[in-house]
């Protein structure tokens, strides 16, 4: 079945540094990938839609310059958290749709980011 790989699974960084999270579709091509953030005991919040070959579409309230998204190929999207702050500590999850618009999303395993 469709597999989405996300790396790293956990990362700890210091305030002010940047962290890059990778999301790969391993056995299918994904023109669109989604990036979510989830705080403990809260719902998944869509941050942005990553579009291959074009700019990402950000949800309201998500800072484009802080959460940089690059979707350079049909199998890879990256999210870079720039100048990280402790309040950016969260669980970040990517997902991709392997086929038709109403087929289920497949999720990466998520990245636990802790900013100290």
Q: How far is the CB of 83 from another protein (least distance, A)?
A: 26
* Residue 71 vs 106, nearer CB to another protein: 106
Interface with another protein, residue 24, by CB under 8 A: no
d(CA 113, CA 27): 26
Contacts of another protein in 34-53 (CB under 8 A): 41-46
**CB-based contact 28:35 (threshold 8 Å):** no
Q: Backbone phi, then psi, for 97, in 5-degree steps?
A: -105, 115
Binding-site string for another protein from residue 50 to residue 79, where x marks contact by CB under 8 A and - marks none: ------------------------------
Q: How far is the CB of 37 from another protein (least distance, A)?
A: 11
Q: How far is the CB of 16 from another protein (least distance, A)?
A: 26
SS (H, E, C) the chain: CCCEEEECCEEEECCCCCEEEEEEECCCCCCEEEEEEECCCCCCEEEEEEECCCCCEECCCCCCCCEEEEEEECCEEEEEECCCCHHHCEEEEEEECCCCCCCCCEECCCEEEEEC
Among 18, 31, 73, 109, binds another protein (CB under 8 A): 109
Interface with another protein, residue 110, by CB under 8 A: yes
Which parts of this chain interact with another protein (CB under 8 A)? Answer: 6, 41-46, 91, 93, 101-110, 112
């Amino acid at each position: 079945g469709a597999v989405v790989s996300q790396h790293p699974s956990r990362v700890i960084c210091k305030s002010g540094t940047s962290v890059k999270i990778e999301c790969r579709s391993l056995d299918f091509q994904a023109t669109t990938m989604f990036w979510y953030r989830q705080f403990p005991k809260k719902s998944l919040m869509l941050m942005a839609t990553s579009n291959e070959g074009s700019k990402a579409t950000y949800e309201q309230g998500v800072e484009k310059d802080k959460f940089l998204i690059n979707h350079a190929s049909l199998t890879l999207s990256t999210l870079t958290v720039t100048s990280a702050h402790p309040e950016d500590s969260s669980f970040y999850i990517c997902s991709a749709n392997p086929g038709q618009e109403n087929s289920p999303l497949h999720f990466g395993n998520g990245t636990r980011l802790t900013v100290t």
